[in-house]
Amino acid sequence: MMGQSNMLGEGTKAGNGPNTLTTAVQTEKKYPYLWNTTSGTWSTSKTVRNVFVMGSGGIDSAITLQNNEFMTGATPKPDPVPGMPGRGKGTIGPELGIGFALGDYTSEPVMTLKSCIGDRALGWDLLPPGSVEFEYNVTNPKDNTTTTYVQAGYHETPHTWVKGLKNQTKAPPWFAGIQYDGDIHRANLALGNLSLFYPGANCYEVAGFFWWQGDRDSRDIELSRYYERNLANMIRKLRIQYTSPNAKFVTASLGQTVQGDTDGGGLILDAMQAVANATKYPEFKGTVAAVYTHPLEHTPGSSGGHYGHDAQTYMNVGEAMGAAMVGLLKGSE
C-alpha cells in the first residue's frame, strides 16, 4: 500500500463527533463487520495482518512502526519489532475497508503492508526507477520570451533546472525517487523478517498493490501532465522488483476531483483511468483497476485537507479499493 498522506491515514477513530469511526460504527451501525455485537468490542480479523512501516526519505532514514497487529478498528499497540519504535496509529486510512474485503474473499493468510508518508509527489519524491527527465517550456507574458526547463529523471537533482544550466544550479541532498527507494526498502525489511510481522509465516507472494496519491502532483501542471507515464512506469517497476509480473494494481483518484475536470487533479484522474483502460494499455488488461472516489466522500472535502479527517470517507474508499482488488483477483475486468 503506497501513496502519500491519505494512504497514510487521517480519518478520525475515537470520539462522538459526526465524522468519527466510533460514531459511524456504534451509533449509525455502519461497517458492521468492524463490530462484534456478541462481545460488544471491535472485531479483530483472524487471518488479515495490518502492518505499516513509515519513514521520511531514503534507505538510511529512521523507521517508525505504526501498525503490526491483526486487522481491527480498535487503536492497538503494535506487536514489538527490534529496532523499530512502535507508536500505534490512532487514525485510519483505507486499510480497514481493504483488509476486511480481502479477508472476506479468502481464508488464506493475508498481510496488508503499508509503506508511505505524506506530502510526496509521484513525479519527484516517488519517481520510480527508469523514469527519464523531460523538458517543458514556460513563456513570460511580460516580454513573450520562452524558457525551456528540464524536469529531473530518477536519481537526478535538483527538481528542475533551466536547460543547459544544470551545473550552475545548487543541488539539494534530496533527489528524484528518494522516497520511492525508502518506501520500498522499508517494505522489504518487513518482508525479509516476515515472522516478526505475521507470526508463523515463512514465505509470501505479492498478490497486488494499492496506490492512493496525487495531491502533491496536482499542484504542478507539468507533473500532472506526466502522471500517466510515471504511473504506468511504476506499475511495471513494482512487478519487476517483486518478481510478480501478474500482480494486480488498484489506484484511487483524488476525492475532490470530478469527472471532466481539466485542472491538475483532472489530469491525474484521466491518467489513472487511462492505465486501467485495456485498449490503451493491453499489457495491463485484467490486472489494473481505477477507483473513482468523488462519489464516495461522506462529507465534502479535499485530499489536501484530508477530507476533513472524516472516517467514513476513508472507509468508503477502502471498501471500494478492496472490492476492486477482489474483482481483479477473481479474474473479472
Summarize pLDDT for 281-326 with one digit per residue, the tens: 999 999 999 999 999 999 989 999 999 999 999 999 999 999 999 9
Q: Residue 236 corresponds to which amino acid? A: R
Q: Residue 251 corresponds to which amino acid? A: T
Q: Find the mean pLDDT for residues 209-235.
A: 98
Residues in the chain: 333
**How sure is the predictor about 169, in pLDDT bands with cuts at 50, 70 and 90?**
low
Question: For residue 122, which of 245, 240, 268, 247 has the smallest C-alpha distance?
Answer: 268
Predicted local distance difference test score (pLDDT) of residue 168: 64
pLDDT(333) > 50: no
Q: Find the mean pLDDT for residues 83-98.
A: 91
Predicted local distance difference test score (pLDDT) of residue 89: 81
CB count, 10 Å around CB of 257?
25
CA dist 316 and 293 (Å) reads 8
Q: Find the mean pLDDT for residues 179-192.
A: 98
Predicted local distance difference test score (pLDDT) of residue 167: 72
CA dist 296 and 316 (Å) reads 6
What does pLDDT average to over the chain? 95
Q: What domains does the chain contain, in order, with CATH numbers? A: 2-123+176-330 (3.40.50.1110), 132-175 (no CATH)
Distances (CA, A) of 326 to 66, 284, 285, 312: 25, 16, 15, 21
Burial of 169 (0-12, 13-18, 19+ CB in 10 A): middle
Predicted local distance difference test score (pLDDT) of residue 75: 87
pTM of the complete model beyond 0.85: yes
The b-or-e profile of 87-104 (16+ CB within 10 A means b, else e) is eebebbbbbbbbbbbbbe
pLDDT(62) > 80: yes
Predicted local distance difference test score (pLDDT) of residue 265: 98
Q: Find the mean pLDDT for residues 78-97.
A: 91
Q: Find the mean pLDDT for residues 67-73.
A: 96
Q: Find the mean pLDDT for residues 116-142.
A: 96
